[in-house]
Structure 1
Amino acid sequence: MKKSLRFGAAAIAAVATLSLASCGFGGSSGDSGDADGATTLDLLVPSYSDGTKANWETVIDGFEKANPDIKVKLEVQSWDNLEKVVSTKIQAGEAPDIYNGGPFAGFVGDELLYPTKDVVSEDTFSDFQESFIKNAEIDGTAYALPLIASARALFVNNALLDQAGVEAPTDWDSLLDAATKVSALGGGVAGYGMPLGSEEAQAEAAVWLWGGGGSFGDASEITIDTPENLAGAEQIKKMIDAGATQADPGSTQRSPLMDIFIQGKIGMQVGLPPTVGQIAEGNPDLDYSIVPIPTKDGSPFTLGVMDQLMAFQNDDDKKEAITKFFDYYYSADVYVPWVQAEGFLPVTKSGAEQLSGEEALKPFLDVLPDAQFYPSTNPQWSAADGAFKSLFGQIQTKPAQDVLTEIQAQVDAG
């Protein structure tokens, strides 16, 4: 895979089709060492792209040269197979020593994982973006290390905003004003692309509800029907009622809507890092910029998603070797090329600093410290996710309060 500071075509395709944090379990062999005395670490990972195996092999080769007494046994599985493979291994008492996956609360509940501070140096631990480490905590203790990140920002069609005589917005009032004026240009142009269809309604909802000071709850409680969330939901209705969005936002899906933005027919829409590559491929002449997502009061915010690395407590004799591997992997000169090759954003401060000169990535890197996350460690989150996808689009025609009440009721019902 092309290892450039830009998103290559293969990396873009990988990220565009990937659902981050979509997996759950892990497995591996239990031998602590080889006949020659070397310690063997079993590493189970999902395939993010066609280059994932080679990317990990590059890391492993460098690590084994620096640590000849440690061997790393790599196993790469598809996302579709990962959960089954890992579950089987755990049931057989063969959990991997190191595992790359998404949800991990079940492992913590079964006391299978090391607290991350037990398997990384203090220097490595302190290098992670605080917001990402916090998202890896259960009851105040981190049990997983952030691995890769994705964040969101507002893509702005500069030409359309110039025609409308407005600037890129920073808060809800300026967003409503700008989007309304862009929509008034006519010719099939929409001011703001608002995808509330089932594809990713929970994400667009988070942009607005969290941007108004709300949240979806935490590891212990899912909270949808709150006054703070109502502020964002009512702002959505203001946008729709003012004609500031595309037609029928309640049933519009994100991916096809972004295609319309790329074609130059939408003034503003929230997008992801891969959107940069999609624009380069689909409409390289598009005059656009990337700015932070406008919020109620203009305070910084982004919706973050991440996958993790975690270490299973198989054999305490391996703990030192695991620590050496994590410290090696997260060193900027090793970690940043791996992240670049896979087309994601780094979760470390040193990684963000190393890529800070990248114009295409900088808007996303700048907002990473302010990332907020879905409460994925809460067992009820899957029900909330489904409720948003099936019900939130009704906000186009129903009172905002009614929609939030219905989603909360579906979550509470399990």
Structure 2
Amino acid sequence: MRRRYLGMTAAIAAWGMTMALAGCGSSGGSGDVTLKLVAADYGTNSENSSEKYWSALATAFESKNPGIKVDVNVRPWKTVDSDVATMVEENRAPDIAQVGSYANYVKKGKLYTADEVLSVPTQANFLSQLAEAGKVNRLHYGLPFVASTRLLFYNKKLFDQAGLDAPKDWDDIQSNAEALKATGVTTPFALPLGSEEAQGETLMWLLSGGGGYTDTADGSYNIDSRQNIKTFQWLQKELVGKGLTGPVAPGKLDRAMAFKAFTSGQVGMLNGHPSLMAEAAKQGIKVGMVPLPGVNGTAKASMGVADWMMAFKQNGNRTAIGKFLDFVYDDQNVMSFAGQYDLLPVTYSANEAMAADPQYADLRKFLNALPTSELIPYGKNSWASVSESFKKNIGKAVEPGASPSNVLGGIARDAAAAEAAE
């Protein structure tokens, strides 16, 4: 990965020395400007709340940019997307939002494009895969903020006690889970299909089963494909039906609950991201990590996730927004946030720096998975409503007596309706 970034990084550095900042339009008025920023909280408690990061960043920015103030408003992940949606509906959109999706605001004409607010070097420094995921109809609106990939995590102590090796395919997952259950493990495999992050957990399993959310040929939704139905039939029969997913029904198990159970030693296996690795280490859990197992070996791709920043037009503060965003994407600031929460930076230069830094050695497996990862279809205007349908319904697909085909078919119909409404 490091070699991949070297040439681009050097070019960007040279370019940045010769290019003036783009996005130098009017801020909509004279005098002081106060930017309203709404951001998601990546912390798990008051000690590591993202409020501290953004407040310190705002203070540093304000000291270098007299006349521009930044009003920081950090919201919980569980509500931040709906909070921003409500603000927009009530005609009090923030200037900048850092949330989980952006495309639903594009059709309504609410957002600046990237080239309207960012300097050329900043925009060119985004990893190309993530920049493409931020586009709607070839225009770049969604600014990737941080990224992560997913690996299968397992508790080494519990595996050693059961005499197990890391799983390589679905048969291994099932047999390992049976062995863990036999040794008294409360949750051999945690399957969080609750409302918090069901759309992400679902995509991981669909990819490992050879399917996905969309058709690779034309990008259309392909939710109730044969491969996807088979994946959920397997989950229903081989994991949930055999009592291997713990005392909480998957449809009622949120990711945060599953992660907490893992870090307390109650879970044998689950799909995890970099932040969980660090939290487990703090709790003394020795973690093994392997690429997501597929039906007959490693899955065709890992799931990639990006969180997004977007710039709203409503208040007309284009120039001030651009100055702040260029500051946000300075390498030092990108690395500071990504490093604090064990996430992956979204720029070539910061990725090169992380790959070369020994203190981030534990993240290299995630970095290595990023170039071939498959992302959620962020650029589809309909994705926000389709995601909600997954959150509300996919847990039902693995319930006893349920029909995975019918549940996926219902979500597919919701997706078709959402697409038709665009």
TM tier relative to shorter chain? 0.7 to 0.9
Question: Equivalent of 1:74, from 71, 74, 77?
Answer: 71
- After alignment, is 125-134 or 212-221 more displaced? 212-221
- After alignment, is 287-296 or 397-406 more displaced? 397-406
Unaligned runs of 5+ in 2: 1-25
User: Is 1:372 the counterpart of 2:369 in the alignment?
Assistant: no
SS of the residue corresponding to residue 294 of structure 2 reads: coil
User: Is 1:42 the counterpart of 2:35 in the alignment?
Assistant: yes
Unaligned runs of 5+ in 1: 1-28
Q: Does the C-alpha gap of structure 1 residues 262 and 413 become closer, same or farther in structure 2, counting only changes over 3 Å?
A: same
Code of the aligned partner of 1:270:
N
Q: Does the C-alpha gap of structure 1 residues 52 and 113 become closer, same or farther in structure 2, counting only changes over 3 Å?
A: same
Shift of 1:307: 3.2
Percent identical pairs in the alignment equals: 27
User: Is 1:203 the counterpart of 2:200 in the alignment?
Assistant: yes
Query: In the alignment, is the contact (CA less than 8 A) between 1:146 and 1:307 conserved in 2?
Result: yes
Q: How does 1:38-117 map to 2 (within 5 A)?
A: 40=33, 42-46=35-39, 48=41, 52-67=50-65, 71-76=68-73, 78=75, 79=80, 82-90=84-92, 96-117=94-115
- After alignment, is 251-260 or 134-143 more displaced? 251-260
The equivalent residue for 2:386 is: 381
Query: In the alignment, is the contact (CA less than 8 A) between 2:207 and 2:300 conserved in 1?
Result: no
The equivalent residue for 1:293 is: 292
Shift of 1:214: 2.0
Count of residues paired in the alignment: 372
1:260-303 Cα deviation digits (max 9, x unpaired): 4344444321123343354345x41x332223222344146344
Shift of 1:143: 0.5
Q: How does 1:7-406 map to 2 (within 5 A)?
A: 31-34=28-31, 40=33, 42-46=35-39, 48=41, 52-67=50-65, 71-76=68-73, 78=75, 79=80, 82-90=84-92, 96-183=94-181, 185-188=182-185, 191-196=188-193, 200-217=197-214, 222-237=221-236, 239-240=238-239, 243=242, 245-246=244-245, 250=250, 253-254=253-254, 255-280=256-281, 283-284=283-284, 286-296=285-295, 297-299=297-299, 301-313=301-313, 319=318, 321-341=320-340, 344-356=343-355, 357=358, 358-369=360-371, 370-373=373-376, 375=378, 377-378=381-382, 380-389=385-394, 391-394=396-399, 396-406=400-410
Give the structure-2-normalised TM-score: 0.71
CA RMSD across the alignment? 3.8
Q: Does the C-alpha gap of structure 1 residues 108 and 407 become closer, same or farther in structure 2, counting only changes over 3 Å?
A: closer
Query: In the alignment, is the contact (CA less than 8 A) between 1:300 and 1:367 conserved in 2?
Result: no
Q: Does the C-alpha gap of structure 1 residues 308 and 402 become closer, same or farther in structure 2, counting only changes over 3 Å?
A: closer
| Distance of 2:33 and 2:195 partners within structure 1 | 45
SS of the residue corresponding to residue 109 of structure 1 reads: coil
Shift of 1:119: 2.6
SS of the residue corresponding to residue 325 of structure 1 reads: helix
| Distance of 1:351 and 1:101 partners within structure 2 | 21
- After alignment, is 147-156 or 242-251 more displaced? 242-251
Shift of 1:199: 5.6
The equivalent residue for 1:15 is: none
Code of the aligned partner of 2:350:
G
Query: In the alignment, is the contact (CA less than 8 A) between 1:131 and 1:372 conserved in 2?
Result: no
